[in-house]
Amino acid sequence: MEKTIAGKTISVNDEGFLTNFAQWDKSVGEEIAKENSITLTPRHWEVIDYIQNEVRKESPLSIRKVGKSGVVDIKEFYALFPNAPLKTATKIAGVPKPASCI
């Protein structure tokens, strides 16, 4: 389905995840963050960059992995993206929702 985010027409799935990363830019990320009541700081962007890099490398994401990344620890990850950090952060980053249980 299609949704207007930051003035652009963006393809998203029923959970609001972007289905085409080429349509993502920082303003799209910012608006999705706002929908999730998050104001992005430079710390958020460091995590988002990391997530996008991992997805580019086709390396599967998990909470444990993010915690070991050296970019952010698990406690801060939850503080930056409250509630469901991995889901929220990947949504803002414009990448698919990780199918991870850990």
Partner 1 sequence: MSNENGKIKKMMIILSKATIENVYAAFVLANGARMEGIEAELFCTFFGLEAIHTKKLEHLHVATVGNPAMHIPTMVGGLPGMEAFATHMMKKEMDKIDMPDVKEFLEILVASGVKIWACKLAMDMFHFKKEDLYEGVEAVITVGDFYHRAEGEGVHLLFI
> Which residues are catalytically annotated?
101
**Does residue 57 belong to the site contacting partner 1 (CB under 8 A)?**
no
**Does residue 67 belong to the site contacting partner 1 (CB under 8 A)?**
yes
In angstroms, what is the minimal distance from the CB of 70 to partner 1? Answer: 15
Place of tokens 């991870």: 100
Number of residues in contact with partner 1, rule: CB under 8 A?
Answer: 18
**Does residue 96 belong to the site contacting partner 1 (CB under 8 A)?**
no
Which stretch in 11-19, 22-30, 48-56, 61-69 sits in contact with partner 1 by CB under 8 A? Answer: 61-69
2's CB contacts (< 8 A; 6+ apart) are: 9, 10, 11, 12
* Alpha-carbon dihedral 33, 16, 84, 31, rounded to 10 degrees: 0
**Does residue 97 belong to the site contacting partner 1 (CB under 8 A)?**
no
- Would you tell me which residues interact with partner 1 (CB under 8 A)? 62-65, 67, 73-75, 78, 82-87, 100-102
